[in-house]
Structure 1
């Protein structure tokens, strides 16, 4: 099948702890220098503004510091905890302003990159390593390129949960009463795809039925008293309010690092319903520093291949998206198309109140949300959605 999610990206030699993630690699030399002209133009601009990049996410702290040290540009780290929707809104706002602190470069979930291109919010640029980036992981005109991806998993507080769930159906067991939560509100990409993944498992891989089956799955969890209707995060995982979270595997791994050993956190990738989500890099159409933005992309993809060196990317890619280890078996994730995601979002957000019948409550203000790219603007459950 020709569409994006059916392309099978082949991993060679996955040895890192996070087997569900992939960075970009190529057969090109380990590093390549950007042109002198680009470096000079970027230095003349003197500044770069990034948005939605916390320092403990994907090694971005080291990446930002390395870029700054090498080229001497000032860097504004705008709203490091912003989710993809808020990041895109900062670009929309920049259309009508001449703010020098408007974002230059973004890192967002693929659906947001696709819609941003459609809305004229991105500027195309092809890095020197363009040919090494898999065709299925980049826009053919250079408006965005994938950096990494992960799959939905169960993040489990092993100090509380002694028997690990191995698949979605296990979550309905009486042993997980008052235990299962979603990490992300109902408008977030993470929650939508988590519900979709549960439904994909129940529908035996039929993506057309996944959204409806996902609603039925969570309605059943709620009736059994297993679903906890709060927006889960590291705090609720550790204190036992949601000792099992449906979460991107890389976010779960970051939670484990942030916990620092005070909580035993296990990451379980289910046997079925394996859904992947790609995050994309792009340059704002309204960048105040276009050459600094281009130099940043060269630093990420051509000069250092910073994703591969960040410690989170486990494997080399050969022109394809990666197989991942789930319960000891190599499998190909399903990467939903934009059409499938749009349809799933409509079914889930419109049907949640009637089918599941509970409102997901946000954590109190000040509670650690943990990770960006989880929360999106909007209200929850039976209330109005912003998108």
Structure 2
């Protein structure tokens, strides 16, 4: 009797799983058709050298045959939010369907009614701590703040934040964005402050502003947005940016100039970014299909190829889905062991301090 009952239960479970799989496949087929009927997707703030997005976008286009309109690749998280607000009634190519923003921007966009709920098929494998329970936003990838160094111009790379104040780094140090709007730049200031404040998160925002005020006073700060071109040209020989961006530059520049990527000895800050669909998306089905692609194994590995740790990394690793050659290209794990993952409340607090207080530093980043 027990054996018969066990067999019946197993058969019932198998039938339910098969039915669920068929339902998901049918739903996915319907979504693909609806997205292809819309014909296009509009993204914003996705540089091709950020997280391997160039290849990810091409992979999406090749798989589904949709056109992708790419708005303002160098925009910051705040700019993405403003683009949604400014285009609420615009159904043309200037209205973003999807956004990729710093973690703290997800809840605020939800509170303001700017994004809509959608749960991807792989929803359960996204850690609960990295997603909105109602599906309005969900973590996509993370990295740590690092020093990207042009070794042709900087003979000895800085090892920690305090080193950046040394006279040998005069007119060399740049942020990777405007600290009033760009999450990457805000995170750089916070990381410097976390080091200066001895790890005290509550004091790091103001400590970071004080650090950059001193850095500027010493003549070491360059008020230019740091990225690969000014780094290679020597305008900004040291750029404070996420490790995945710096590592991608190292590959792209191919030794011209040689690039050193340094995870600082203290003030190691991990930054989680999140995806969301605009509440006013002109192409809502294409937006949902984009999310399905990004959170599929293929999309997640696409980010990993761009040196970003995808949010489903642990799930992929557990199931043996990460090719060894990708694992071999990842940076050494030692520098990541000290990483601090600020909570949403902590991020909101230091973000407010930094964005409102940046003017006190006395310089505008352009």
Q: List runs of 5+ in structure 1 lacking aligned partners.
A: 1-28, 363-387
Q: Secondary structure at the match of 1:305?
A: helix
The alpha carbon displacement at 1:326 in A equals 7.5
The alpha carbon displacement at 1:128 in A equals 0.9
Q: Residue 122 in 1 paired to residue 115 in 2?
A: yes
The alpha carbon displacement at 1:148 in A equals 0.8
Could you list the per-position Cα deviations for residues 326-365 of structure 1 after superposition, in whole angstroms to 9, with x for gaps in the alignment? 89454142223343333323433444454x4x31352xxx
Could you list the per-position Cα deviations for residues 123-159 of structure 1 after superposition, in whole angstroms to 9, with x for gaps in the alignment? 1111111101111111111111111111111111111
Task: Measure, in 2, the Cα distance between the counterparts of 1:262 and 1:283.
Answer: 38
Aligned ranges 1:66-81 → 2 under 5 Å: 66-81=59-74
User: Using a 3 Å threshold, how does the CA distance of structure 1 residues 241 and 77 change in structure 2: closer, same or farther?
Assistant: closer
| Structure-1-length-normalised TM-score | 0.75
1:211 corresponds to which residue?
205
Could you list the per-position Cα deviations for residues 260-303 of structure 1 after superposition, in whole angstroms to 9, with x for gaps in the alignment? 4321111100011011211111111112222222222112213x
Moved more, 102-111 or 204-213: 102-111
CA contact (8 A) 1:231 1:360 kept: no
User: Using a 3 Å threshold, how does the CA distance of structure 1 residues 161 and 91 change in structure 2: closer, same or farther?
Assistant: same
Could you list the per-position Cα deviations for residues 148-196 of structure 1 after superposition, in whole angstroms to 9, with x for gaps in the alignment? 1111111111111111211112222333233322222231222222111
CA contact (8 A) 2:268 2:336 kept: no
Task: Measure, in 2, the Cα distance between the counterparts of 1:152 and 1:332.
Answer: 12
1:266 corresponds to which residue?
260
User: Using a 3 Å threshold, how does the CA distance of structure 1 residues 66 and 164 change in structure 2: closer, same or farther?
Assistant: closer
Q: How many residues align?
A: 326
User: Using a 3 Å threshold, how does the CA distance of structure 1 residues 178 and 97 change in structure 2: closer, same or farther?
Assistant: closer
**Among candidates 307, 313, 318, match of residue 317 of structure 1:** 313
Aligned ranges 1:29-40 → 2 under 5 Å: 35-40=28-33
Aligned ranges 1:1-387 → 2 under 5 Å: 35-99=28-92, 102-187=95-180, 188-302=182-296, 304-310=297-303, 311-312=305-306, 313=308, 317-318=313-314, 328-354=334-360, 356=361, 358-362=362-366
Task: Measure, in 2, the Cα distance between the counterparts of 1:226 and 1:43.
Answer: 51
Q: Secondary structure at the match of 2:142?
A: strand
Q: Secondary structure at the match of 2:260?
A: strand
The alpha carbon displacement at 1:81 in A equals 3.4
CA contact (8 A) 1:269 1:326 kept: no
Greater radius of gyration (CA): 2
User: Using a 3 Å threshold, how does the CA distance of structure 1 residues 205 and 58 change in structure 2: closer, same or farther?
Assistant: same
Task: Measure, in 1, the Cα distance between the counterparts of 2:134 and 2:340.
Answer: 24
User: Using a 3 Å threshold, how does the CA distance of structure 1 residues 266 and 291 change in structure 2: closer, same or farther?
Assistant: same
Greater RCO, CA 8 A, separation 6+: 1
Moved more, 186-195 or 276-285: 186-195
User: Using a 3 Å threshold, how does the CA distance of structure 1 residues 123 and 213 change in structure 2: closer, same or farther?
Assistant: same
User: Using a 3 Å threshold, how does the CA distance of structure 1 residues 93 and 220 change in structure 2: closer, same or farther?
Assistant: closer
Q: Secondary structure at the match of 2:174?
A: strand
User: Using a 3 Å threshold, how does the CA distance of structure 1 residues 58 and 232 change in structure 2: closer, same or farther?
Assistant: closer
User: Using a 3 Å threshold, how does the CA distance of structure 1 residues 227 and 327 change in structure 2: closer, same or farther?
Assistant: farther
CA contact (8 A) 2:43 2:99 kept: yes
User: Using a 3 Å threshold, how does the CA distance of structure 1 residues 361 and 130 change in structure 2: closer, same or farther?
Assistant: closer
